[in-house]
């Protein structure tokens, strides 16, 4: 096989989002404040409840797990912020 002949179409390597844009935390940006994390918690909780009412238990559980993640994130961010502030 000569240098000009190819064995097939070249395949792109999978894109790495971290290399292009850093840690984004999803399409809505990072949840780096307790308010942002609680907003996401409420968003996923509403999605979970709506999906559960429609009868899709698997998808509802997925949304409940996302909601729990953001609830725990909000608590961790708030606890870290409380440690940094001096107590009066």
* Distance, C-alpha 17 to centroid of its chain: 13
> Residue 85's pLDDT is what?
82
Q: C-alpha angle with apex 11: 3 to 22, nearest 5 degrees?
A: 125
> Residue 84's pLDDT is what?
86
pLDDT surpasses 60 at 28: no
CA-to-CA dists, residue 29 to 39, 46, 87, angstroms: 12, 20, 31
The secondary structure element, H or E, covering residue 78 is: helix 57-84
Residue 74 near residue 41 (C-beta atoms within 8 A):
yes
pTM of the model: 0.62
pLDDT surpasses 80 at 11: no
- Residue 35 token pair: 């308010």
pLDDT in tens, 41-63: 999 999 999 999 999 999 999 99
pLDDT surpasses 60 at 24: no
pLDDT in tens, 68-87: 999 999 999 999 988 888 76
- In whole angstroms, give the CA distance from residue 65 to residue 57: 12
């Amino acid at each position: 096989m000569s240098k000009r002949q190819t064995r097939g179409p070249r395949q792109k390597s999978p894109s790495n989002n971290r290399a292009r844009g850093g840690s984004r935390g999803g399409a809505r940006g990072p949840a780096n404040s307790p308010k942002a994390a609680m907003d996401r918690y409420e968003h996923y909780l509403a999605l979970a409840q709506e999906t559960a009412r429609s009868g899709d238990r698997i998808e509802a559980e997925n949304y409940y797990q996302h909601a729990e993640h953001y609830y725990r994130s909000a608590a961790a961010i708030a606890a870290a912020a409380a440690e940094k502030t001096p107590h009066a």
